């Protein structure tokens, strides 16, 4: 059994008792309001409706936004990567220069040590060469003069 809006059985009993107790003017105003709402509701239900297509998503705009976000993210990440690479290259270069300077300082220290050792060796050689002529070679030493050009002047 289908219920109709105008069916009095559909209303609770307590509501009817409240309406009867109200003043007649108020009861009439409420009745008119209820009637107008019921009429409007019936009209809205019975009017012909057009089927509306669901809202379509504009995929080209969405894809443009997505592509724009990807390009922006790529640009920013490329800049960050380039900055990181430059900092890393600068760090490697600084390490290389420091190592080169350490090697140069070590080479200078070795050169100084070598020069000192060479000077000591030359002093030893000079002292060995500068010693007196042995007594067996004494007669030849007297023939030698300090001026070597005399021996070669006879032509």
Q: Give the model's pLDDT for residue 98.
A: 95
Kindly report whether the global pTM for this prediction surpasses the value 0.75. Answer: no
Residue 30 lies in a domain: yes
Is residue 20 in some structural domain?
Answer: yes
pLDDT reported for residue 1: 41
Residue 38 domain-assigned?
yes
The rounded percent of the chain whose pLDDT value lies above 90 is: 36
pLDDT at 47: 86
Alpha carbons 67 and 74: distance in angstroms, whole number: 10
User: Does position 3 have pLDDT exceeding 80, yes or no?
Assistant: no
Structure tokens at 12: 């609770």
The percentage of the chain sitting over the pLDDT mark of 70, rounded to a whole number, equals 71
Q: Does residue 41 lie in a domain region?
A: yes
Task: With respect to residue 34, please indicate whether it lies within any of the assigned structural domains.
Answer: yes
**Residue 22 pLDDT > 70:** no
Does residue 155 surpass a pLDDT of 50? no
Residue 2: predicted pLDDT: 46
Cα 82 from Cα 24, distance rounded (Å): 86
Output the pLDDT for position 147: 53
Mean residue pLDDT across the chain: 80
Tell whether 121 is covered by a domain: no
Has residue 110 been placed in a domain?
Answer: no
Asked if pLDDT for residue 31 goes beyond 70, the answer is yes
Domain count, the chain: 1
pLDDT of residue 148: 52
Integer Cα distance of 38 and 5 in angstroms: 8
How is residue 57 annotated by DSSP?
P
> What domain range is 36 assigned to?
14-45
Query: Whole-angstrom Cα distance, residue 86 to residue 90?
Result: 6
- For 33-84, the pLDDT digits (tens) are 999 999 999 998 888 888 777 778 788 989 999 999 999 999 999 999 999 9
């Amino acid at each position: 059994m289908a219920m109709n809006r105008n069916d009095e059985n559909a209303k609770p009993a307590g509501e009817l008792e409240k309406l009867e107790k109200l003043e007649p003017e108020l009861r009439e105003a409420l009745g008119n309001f209820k009637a107008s709402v019921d009429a409007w509701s019936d009209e809205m239900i019975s009017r012909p409706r057009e089927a509306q297509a669901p809202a379509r998503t504009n995929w080209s705009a969405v894809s443009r936004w997505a592509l724009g976000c990807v390009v922006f993210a790529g640009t920013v990440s490329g800049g960050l990567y380039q900055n990181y690479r430059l900092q890393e290259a600068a760090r490697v270069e600084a390490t290389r220069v420091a190592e080169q300077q350490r090697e140069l300082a070590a080479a200078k220290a070795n050169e100084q040590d070598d020069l000192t050792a060479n000077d000591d060796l030359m002093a030893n050689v000079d002292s060995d060469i500068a010693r007196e002529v042995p007594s067996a070679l004494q007669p030849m030493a007297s023939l030698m003069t300090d001026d070597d050009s005399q021996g070669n002047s006879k032509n």
